[in-house]
Chain A
Amino acid sequence: MRLRTGLAGAAMAFVPLSVAFAQAAPAPTPDPAVLLQRLEEAENRIKVLERKLENQKDDATAAAASAPQVRAGGTRYSIGSADGSSFVRLRGVVQADGRHFEGDGSPATSNTWLLRSVRPIIEGTFNNIYDFRVTPDFAQGKTVLQDAYVTARFQPWAAVTVGKFKQQVGLERMVGDADTRFPERGFPTSLVPNRDIGVQIGGDVAGGLFTYSVAYTNGVNDGGSSDANATPDIENDAKGDVNARVFFQPFLNSDNFALRGLGFGIGGTYVDSTGSGTNTLLTSYRTPGQATFFSYRANTATTGNNATFADGERLRYSPQFYYYYGSIGVLGEYAVVSQEVTRVNGAVTRSDKLDNKAWQLQFAWLLTGEEETFRSPTPGTSFQPGKPGYGAWELVARVHQLTIDPDAFTGGANSYANPTTAAQKATAAALGINWYLNQNLKWFFGYEQTRFDGGGATGDRPDEKAYLARVGLQF
């Protein structure tokens, strides 16, 4: 009994042991040919995957090369072709101004906040040759089309522009609307045309050493744009104006860095045309605070029309220069408009040629060390509260003067302008600070005082003492 039990027990012990030994026994060796086949299949799969990855990379590279370029940031928001030859860009300028006047020169009602510019700008280029720009302006409750033109840049020296565009005559007028150092441009800009409709040929010669333009346009009043014509954006007299300008930068590529920033030239316009009492083709002139300080006599007759009107030749010319060196910039120009006028006051008909003249000298100094140029500076740092960087700070100053031909006031009641309401001379001086917070945002604050000769009921018109501020956004 014991032996049987023992033997049975031993047999029981052997069963799990034999099972364990059986499990531990090695598996049969797989067929090498099968292994080789599986290995080859795996290798083929890897090769296929690698090739697909290669093709994907090639496709991605090709797609990137033909993908449209989209840019957003800083001053560039655009979409364009892969090769960059065509693009459409969205830009904008918004300027909010504040004007505050002291003293007797301006009524309290002149103090105001206003939207000076609200301009979405759509511009672009097609095939590296054809540029276009459309700029509506919605400021001050009006809609005005500032720019609408196409330029074909066939060669650097031959670009043809057609449409409504800024006339290349006055130097300060050619400064971009977001790039001006003061909220309002100087007196010489009041004598030269702003935007007009026509055709222009121009370009750069010798890499910009010499720049020229010749245009034939409808013609606009001094300082004006064609949307201010008697019939907006239409020829307002019988003849078009010829505008031309040449500008030299002779040391642009010189080794003498001190002279590289010097440029000078002259622009002008000419027309021989006649207005009328109802469409005088003459304009008024305004102070930096935008108050009118000179106008020709308007119609006061009950029968007939005794307004002063343009009658004959109008020649404008404006020698101009700028100089930029490091953080300093100087801009100067002199403008003359020589205008033949007539006034019929009852039985008296008078005609004369009046020469109105203006000049200005602007000074700009970037206190933070950036480089002064014709355009707005690029701040070396941006201002962000709580972070290092304070943007760019620029001290600006200018003096400018506009002198009306004294012959405008001779003749008593038959004069072309009323000396008790129209000043014979305005001289202004300004000091201000521009703070460029970043590439897109600028603040201006300054003071400008304008002194007058004449223009008062008795004696001189009181000085205009203006505190001017602007917040400008551009992109």
Chain B
Amino acid sequence: MSLKKWLSAVAAAVVVTTSVVPHASAAGAVTLLNVSYDPTRELYEEYNAAFAKYWKGKTGQDVKINQSHGGSGKQARSVIDGLQADVVTLALAADVDGIATNGKLLPVNWESRLPNSSAPYTSAIVFLVRKGNPKGIKDWGDLVKPGVSVITPNPKTSGGARWNYLAAWAWAKHQPGGSDATAKDYVKKLFKNVPVLDAGARQATTTFVQREIGDVLLAWENEALLAIKELGPEKVQIVVPSLSILAEPSVSVVDKVVLRHGTREVATEYLNHLYSKEGQEIIAKNYYRPRDTEIAAKYAAQYPKLNLVTIQEFGGWAKAQSEHFGDKGVFDQITTQQ
């Protein structure tokens, strides 16, 4: 082999060897970053410990999962801007779509890679009110009454807020004589009663529960159940509206990042394991609605009975996101006019 070819081969070997070394923080260990939406802290604290034990038992490798939490839309933008997420576990499919189409960090057919369109669990939107329900809030219509203060996060940053908004819109449209125009008018009145727009669902919970601002919190069902567990039923109670929306938080591996980090295998298994019996049990324990029918039946009693619409009511997330939450969408129109 000529000297030139030998040197080129050595250079190539150095490049290949050093660039595909797994993303290791210590000898044999691997680290993942899970970029998630705001209220899933407790879920992933428990799940990550379980997954690390599972992975160690299966492969002998130590895995450390770092978490990042925030409003779903804001988190998606951070990943597009360069936050090195190995996996994203966000509040809605539209935010993962954004990472695919705008960030080009994962394929546009990401939803088909995992069961249930890559949504390992579901949730819904309920009302959380002060104990005794002093303002007598029973349904969506009560939220626009004078003197009622509603806490919901900002739909521009929070995935939960977008589910809240769409649930409100759906209720208004289902009323007698309901239409897009009446729904828009209703949502406009609703947001007039919102004194603070937090960036994410957990911040909104903090505003309502700890800062004691507002009469009603539009909350993820799991967040409301967690608040009752943490504070006790003597502080807050759930009011089940007549109509809500089936919220389907979505998960995906971020392909370009795992390729760079060499973590595809462990990241894929991290998400797969959410669908396992162990994963679904942890999901249910944290008040999310598991997909596994057996575990869902086991925990059925803890969930309120809800009448649910789906995102298909709005033509899917791509249409809903563009129409309602995009620049100069309906949300921008109603908040500008206020």
Q: Flag if A47 contacts B8 (CB, 8 Å).
A: no
Inside 8 A of A104's CB, which chain B residues have their CB? Answer: none
Q: Flag if B15 contacts A154 (CB, 8 Å).
A: yes
Inside 8 A of A59's CB, which chain B residues have their CB? Answer: 199
Q: Flag if B196 contacts A48 (CB, 8 Å).
A: yes
Inside 8 A of A158's CB, which chain B residues have their CB? Answer: 14, 18
Say which residue of A51, A66, A81, A214 sits within 8 Å of B213 (CB atoms): A51
Smallest Cβ distance from A401 to chain B, in angstroms? 34
Say which residue of B4, B8, B211 sits within 8 Å of A50 (CB atoms): B211
CA distance A52 to B203 in the complex (A): 11
Q: Flag if B196 contacts A55 (CB, 8 Å).
A: yes
Q: Flag if B149 contacts A44 (CB, 8 Å).
A: yes
Assess whether A152 is interfacial by the CB under 8 Å rule.
yes
Q: Flag if A154 contacts B14 (CB, 8 Å).
A: yes
Assess whether A160 is interfacial by the CB under 8 Å rule.
yes
Chosen A-B contacts, 14 in total, with CB atoms closer than 8 Å, are A44-B149, A44-B213, A47-B211, A47-B213, A51-B207, A51-B211, A55-B198, A55-B199, A55-B203, A158-B14, A158-B18, A160-B14, A240-B4, A242-B7
Q: Flag if B8 contacts A199 (CB, 8 Å).
A: yes
Smallest Cβ distance from A68 to chain B, in angstroms? 11
Interface size (B, Cβ < 8 Å)? 24
Q: Give residues of chain B (8-26) contacting chain A, Cβ–Cβ below 8 Å.
A: 8, 10-11, 14-15, 18-19
Assess whether B82 is interfacial by the CB under 8 Å rule.
yes
CA distance A199 to B5 in the complex (A): 12
Inside 8 A of A66's CB, which chain B residues have their CB? Answer: 78, 81
Could you list 17 further interchain pairs (A-B, Cβ under 8 angstroms) beyond the known A55-B198, A201-B14?
A: A44-B213, A47-B211, A47-B213, A48-B195, A50-B211, A51-B207, A62-B70, A66-B81, A154-B14, A154-B15, A154-B18, A160-B14, A199-B7, A201-B11, A214-B7, A216-B4, A216-B8
In this complex, what residue of A is CB-closest to B198? A55
Smallest Cβ distance from B155 to chain A, in angstroms? 15
Q: Give residues of chain B (175-219) contacting chain A, Cβ–Cβ below 8 Å.
A: 195-196, 198-199, 203, 207, 211-213
Give 1 or 0 for each of A154-167: 1 = CB within 8 Å of chain B CB: 11001010000000
Assess whether A407 is interfacial by the CB under 8 Å rule.
no
Q: Give residues of chain A (26-44) contacting chain B, Cβ–Cβ below 8 Å.
A: 44
Smallest Cβ distance from A120 to chain B, in angstroms? 28
Assess whether B3 is interfacial by the CB under 8 Å rule.
yes
Assess whether A102 is interfacial by the CB under 8 Å rule.
no
Inside 8 A of A50's CB, which chain B residues have their CB? Answer: 211
CA distance A199 to B10 in the complex (A): 11
Inside 8 A of B7's CB, which chain A residues have their CB? Answer: 199, 201, 214, 216, 242
